[in-house]
Structures are given as structure tokens and as C-alpha cells.
Structure 1
Amino acid sequence: MTVATSIHRPLLITRKNNKWRPPQAAIIPNYHLPMRSFESKNRTSTEDIKSLRLITAIKTPYLPDGRFDLEAYDDLVNMQIEDGAEGLIVGGTTGEGQLMSWDEHIMLIGHTVNCFGGSIRVIGNTGSNSTREAIHATEQGFAVGMHAALHINPYYGKTSMEGMISHFNSVLSMGPSIIYNVPSRTGQDIPLRVIHTLTQSPNLAGIKECVGNDRVKQYTDNGIVVWTGNDDQLHDARWDHGATGVISVTSNLIPGLIRQLLFEGRNPSLNSKLMPLIEWLFQEPNPIPLNTALAQLGVIRPVFRLPYVPLPLAKRVEFVKLVKSIGRENFVGDKDVQVLDDDDFILLGRY
């Protein structure tokens, strides 16, 4: 008996004169809906964010093994609330978000909302030079309750103006957002045309602008909310150029005095008095001087995640003199300011 066998050959399909069509998910906008929630427990409106004047770019303190020192962090935040700050940037440049894993980043945002979200607006720095990462981090940030997001333009690799618009539009739909323009760090200015295009989104709260007060004026003349990112210009930005307020580094140290500059009318005398401190804070890239200052005030441990290192001894001595000139009572914390020795600092490359 013979058994008939058949050989199965793969069926070859040719596409003569037929154009290949991509999957629908690749061509339908918002095919994959963002991970959004309509719960209102911690939600705030874009208009609420627009009204904030004093927003502190809060420092992230560390334990000797490099983990977050949440006890010291909570004390820092409480001092900001007590002295009148209205918002916090969590994990920004000052908070060293660039040295965090995304797990650390989102945890710190969630922790801040959970502990302080009823007393101060929490703005998570969930921006990235990668649109994919910015989308994912922003979804997670809003999922853990942040009130708004801070978004920088793609840095290092840079992109075109059309690329910037597409990048920002990819995240603006998720909730209230502040766009951050700091060409000295990104290597690329965000042109006015990009911002004017993005104002079509109801979620654009405003701009953190570091180019200068002439740029601030261009935006405020067109009804766009601006926070200056330059502490040395905050007084004039507020009272002469229409800025709503400041996203400040200096307010980590003297939140009450910075609030006074923003809320109590023109005060060139106070502004001049604070200028030596502000200049001291920006003699090296932020947050190097701030980290040094907070450690010498005794409100954080003298622990640095590399590549940041403390200011040299002569500059540390200069800070103590500045504190005494302005008045220790105006600075955060209640310990005597001191000059730390080189051996007091811990520098961590692995953590």
C-alpha cells in the first residue's frame, strides 16, 4: 500500500502595484490614549497655575549612601510653605533631576504631593530630550497627583522648530504645563513662534524664561504668563516687564525675602541688598553653590552626587559673611552658619 504525500510550500504573496499600508495605530492620532484620569482629588486648573508668583525650584538632599534624605527634604518643603512659597519644582535642575533615575523622580513627586499637595502646588519636572520619556514620565507624574508639569525643549541633540512643536504638543494634552527655556543649558533657544503656536493649547500655563527681561516683555505684551528663571532679574521682571513671578533658586535660602520682592511692590533697596548673595549663588553652575550653602546652614547633609562638588574654601567663607550681612534670621534653618572643611563633604559617584 502506498501513501500519497504532499509537499506544502509557503504561499508567496507579491504586491505588484499595491502600496503597503501601515497599521492603523501608526497613522491615527491618539490611537493609544494617554494614561490619564479624570479624578479631581489633586487636580488643579491651568488658571490656578498661572496665578502662582513664587515657585521654588526645591533642592533634593541626600543621605551619606546617596539615597534621598526625605526627613531633610520635608523640613525644606515645610520651611518654603511657612515663608510663603506657592509652588515647588520637584526634580528640576536645582533638585538634580538629571542625576535621578525615573523611579526616584516619580517617587519624589508622589511623596511631595502626598505630604504637601494640600498646602503647595507641586510641579513635577517630567520633561526630557526624548519625547518618549517625556510622555511616559508626565503620565506617571499626573498619575501620582502632581498639579502641573515642567517641560524643557529637547537638549543636546536639539531639533527643528517643527520638532519642538510636535514634542511639546505630545505632552501638553495631559495637564497644566510650564515650558522651560534655558538656552545656556539646552544649547537651543525656543523661538517666539513656537510658543505662540503652543498657546492654542488650554493646558499651557506659561513660560519659565531665562533669556532676559526683553523676552519676558515680548510675551507679557501678548498676554502670555511668564516666570523669570533669572533671580538677578526677578525684581525688574515683576514690576517693570509684567512677569507673574519667578521660579527661583535663591528662595531655597531666603523664601520670605524673595516673597517680599514679589508681593510688596517695588523695593530696589532690598533687591540691591540681596544681589551679592544672588551673584554668589551663580558664580558656578547651579546647584553647586546652593548645595554648599544649604550644607553650611546645617539644613542638609554635606553630601554631593557627582559631578557636583562643593565650592572651594574661600567661597565658603564668603557665604558665611553674606549670611551675617543679610541676617541669619532671614535664612532657612535655625543652626548657626559655619564654614565646612573639605573633609566634611561626601562625594558620591555610585549611589
Structure 2
Amino acid sequence: MERWTSTEDIKALRLITAIKTPYLPDGRFDLEAYDDLVNMQIENGTEGVIVGGTTGEGQLMSWDEHIMLIGHTVNCFGGSVKVIGKKGSNSTREAIHATEQGFAVGMHAALHINPYYGKTSLEGLVSHFDSVLPMGPTIIYNVPSRTGQDIPPRVVNTVAQSPNLAGIKECVGNDRIKQYTGNGIVVWSGNDNQCHDARLSHGATGVISVTSNLIPGLMRELMFSGKTLSLNAKLLPLIEWLFQEPNPIGLNTALAQLGVVRPVFRLPYVPLPLAKRVEFVNLVKEIGRENFVGKKDVKVLDDNDFILVGRY
């Protein structure tokens, strides 16, 4: 298996899935369900996976769990898909340590957000990213709705001098994406609802997607088939449904209803209410069950089907 991945290899990826972490009834990882889900991604043309991102609930993992899951993913799938570990922290010390460990267990690239909650100055952001960039290929992730702070272009343009910067996962919108791609910086859209336009009209290389957990083949088509306005329009109601509550609440509910993961939630996440679960079943029927992961019939789950775990 090829161990060494260059920054250029990462820059070429168009469809990257922010993969969901499934759980057993006691709240531990369900590695069997996880492996099945990653396999379905690979079979449907996903080129990279983000392990332990927001979607994979890295924020609810111990660092031990986090590193174990990255190592497991590299070990089982590293020859077929690029494994990108979410390594961001609001503490630079922690970010450095986690990044070293991630690369030590073989991940191909790191995903780094800016220090959230505590926040810092723009000079502090540059120093933070400069501390982790020397370790290997890195994607910087800008999501002000979660961190409370925008990473402005002048920070990105400064750290882009590092040969290890693969690019930016940008959630601020397509005008910002255009600013970067115009300067030759690689960008992935972080917004599934904008990714088709980001790729076709604003120069984005691709998408780091939540929706592709559910419909990897159709998301691949969206990224590889040129203008597919009708497909994009067909998928927007599903994407809207997924993001009506903070991600990954919708995704967790959807995958449980598809029978791909057990209906186990680590708190503070709880399933979408019954009316929304019914909506999902109708969306699956409209888009076609065959386009979604898994083989079981989609079902409306009852409230008492879900297991909510507070200690994990």
C-alpha cells in the first residue's frame, strides 16, 4: 500500500465525504457499520473521507478514539480512498500533538479549523496554522457559524506560502471561493446546497460533503458530470432537510432510518421529530431508494426506537 501522499494528490480530490461515525447501543464505535459505510462510499466513487469531523462527531470523541478511528480507516481503506483526519483544536498545543499522531498512524492529510470559542487575533491564526502545516498535507476549514470567527483571505494568502497547504474548505459562500480560485488556491465547497455552482461557476475543485454519506453516487455525478442543473434541483430538498437542525442531527436520523447504522445517538444530539422522519421517507421515495446507501427498506422510526447515550 502506498504510504506517502503528496499535497498535489490531495488537491486533485473532487468528492470528499465527511463520514458519519456509527455507534453500538452502549455508545462505543460500531466499526462493522462504519466499515460498511466507508465501503459504500468507495464503491460509489468517493475519493476521500474526513474522519472525526463535525459530521463524524470528532467533538464527542476522546483523542484516543479519534486516533484509533483514523488508524483503523487507513489500515482498512487507505489504499482505496484518501484518509483526512480532522485535527483542529482551539489549543495549538493540542492541534500539534493530534496532527503528529494522525500522521504517525498513516493519515494522508489533516483538516484544521481556526481556534473556536477562545478565538485569537489574525496574527495568532497565522501562527496557529504555521505550527501545524509543516507536518504534512493540510486543508484549512473555514466555518464561522461554528467557530465564531471568519478566517479572512489575508490569513489564507499568508499561510498559502506553505507547500503543505492543499487548500481551503470554505463555507462562507461562492464569492469567497471565487476570490481564492482566482488566485490559484484550491477550494472545496463546504456547503452541499452551493457545491454545484461552486464547482461550475466559481472554480471550486469539488466538495467536502455531508449529503454524500447518503447518496455518494449522485453527489459524484454532481461533481463530475458538468452542468447537471436538474440533478442539483432534485437533490436540494434532501439537502435542505439534512440541515434544518445543526449537522449531524439530520444525517444521523436518516442513516438510522435507512438501516445503515443503529439508531444510537451520543448526546447532545437527538433525532429529528417524527414529522421530519416521515418527510425523509418521502424524500427517499422521490429520489429513489436505489440511489441511497444500504439495502434495507427505509422506515419511519418511532421515538422509542432511538437510544440516547450520555456516558460514552
Q: TM-score range by the shorter chain?
A: over 0.9
Aligned partner of 1:119 among 56, 80, 94: 80
Task: Write the distance in 2 (CA, Å) between the matches of 1:107 and 1:127.
Answer: 16
Query: 1:161 maps to what in 2?
Result: 122
3-state SS of 2:150 partner:
coil
Query: 2:244 maps to what in 1?
Result: 283
Task: Write the distance in 2 (CA, Å) between the matches of 1:288 and 1:192.
Answer: 31
Q: Which runs of 5+ in 2 are unaligned?
A: none
2:144 is equivalent to residue 183 of structure 1: yes
Contact 2:217–2:291 (Cα < 8 Å) also in 1 = yes
Deviation for aligned residue 1:135: 0.2
Contact 2:3–2:106 (Cα < 8 Å) also in 1 = yes
Deviation for aligned residue 1:127: 1.1
Structure 1 stretches of 4+ moved >2 Å: none
Task: Write the distance in 2 (CA, Å) between the matches of 1:143 and 1:186.
Answer: 27
Give the number of the structure whose residues are more often helix, by fraction. Answer: 2
2:164 is equivalent to residue 208 of structure 1: no
Task: Write the distance in 2 (CA, Å) between the matches of 1:209 and 1:278.
Answer: 17
Structure possessing the higher radius of gyration over alpha carbons: 1
Amino acid at match of 2:161: Q
Deviation for aligned residue 1:66: 0.5
Task: Write the distance in 1 (CA, Å) between the matches of 2:282 and 2:49.
Answer: 28
2:215 is equivalent to residue 273 of structure 1: no
Deviation for aligned residue 1:89: 0.1
Query: 2:31 maps to what in 1?
Result: 70
Deviation for aligned residue 1:317: 0.2
Query: 2:278 maps to what in 1?
Result: 317
Amino acid at match of 1:242: G
The higher-RCO structure (CA 8 Å, 6+ apart) is 2
2:68 is equivalent to residue 107 of structure 1: yes
Query: 1:220 maps to what in 2?
Result: 181
Amino acid at match of 1:224: I
Deviation for aligned residue 1:43: 1.6
3-state SS of 2:55 partner:
coil
Q: Give the total of aligned pairs.
A: 312
Query: 2:111 maps to what in 1?
Result: 150
Deviation for aligned residue 1:41: 4.5
3-state SS of 1:173 partner:
helix
Task: Write the distance in 2 (CA, Å) between the matches of 1:68 and 1:147.
Answer: 22
The share of aligned pairs that are identical, in percent, is: 85
Q: Which runs of 5+ in 1 are unaligned?
A: 1-39
